[in-house]
Structure 1
């Protein structure tokens, strides 16, 4: 679905290959209450910052959690939509709101039907080996 996709940039007409590369808890790296999802977009890193409060709200409203795989799909869908609508302007980081996270979550689940149908996250070739 949205862990590895092609999209055409609205402004340049350029074909962009977007590929998930990492999920990082931003509390440790940026002292932010967020989960950062990184994509490689034609060789440049683009981060989607997703507020941790979205996880809390999802648990409150459904009793279910946002998994790593689901977070990737949510962030990827947001990135694809940003590029298609012309919102992408080459920024390195995009900050999602709780409502945006939950809206894209609902859309991803509607498309997939169930979290068991989400694609597996395949480690990229820049993954670090275990000691």
Structure 2
């Protein structure tokens, strides 16, 4: 889905290869109440900051939590969208709003069918599915 994708830049028409590289809780690293999702975009680092209060709001509203897999996919979907819409102006960090986090998480779970169908991370290499390498990780029960 959105852990490893190619997207065309709206302005340059350049094909950009985007790969998820990691997830960091920014409280310790930036003293921010956010979770940062790092992507490699054709060789340059791009961070998507997601406010942690979105996790609380998701739990209150739906009873479900945002998993690491869902957060990475939602950040990737957001990154793809901003590049397609011409917002990728070379910045290293983009910050999602709470509503953007919730909408993108819902969109990726709807697209996958359930959290259990989201691709496992990390991406080891193109020939090895992480769930086969590490063993299958069970998803939380239910869907959004």
| Unaligned residue ranges in structure 2 (runs of 5+) | 126-144
Shift, 1:124, TM fit: 5.1
Aligned length: 125
- 1:122 offset after TM fit, Å? 2.4
Q: What corresponds to 2:73 in structure 1?
A: 73
Q: Distance in 1 between matches of 2:33 and 2:105?
A: 19
Structure 1 stretches of 5 or more lacking a match?
126-131
Alpha-carbon distance in structure 1 between the residues aligned to 2:73 and 2:3? 6
| Equivalent-residue separation in structure 2 for 1:17 and 1:78 (angstroms) | 15
- Structure 1 vs Structure 2 CA RMSD: 1.0
In 2: Cα distance, 1:110 partner to 1:123 partner: 22
**Deviating 4+ runs (over 3 angstroms):** none
Contact 1:21 1:124 survives alignment (8 Å): no
Could you state the TM-score of these two structures normalised by the residue count of structure 2?
Answer: 0.84
Question: Normalization by structure 1: what TM-score?
Answer: 0.93
In structure 1, the residue matched to 2:114 is 114
> Displacement of 1:109 after TM fit?
1.3
Q: Give 1:24 shift.
A: 0.2
Corresponding residue number in structure 2 for 1:41: 41
1:8 alignment partner in structure 2: 8
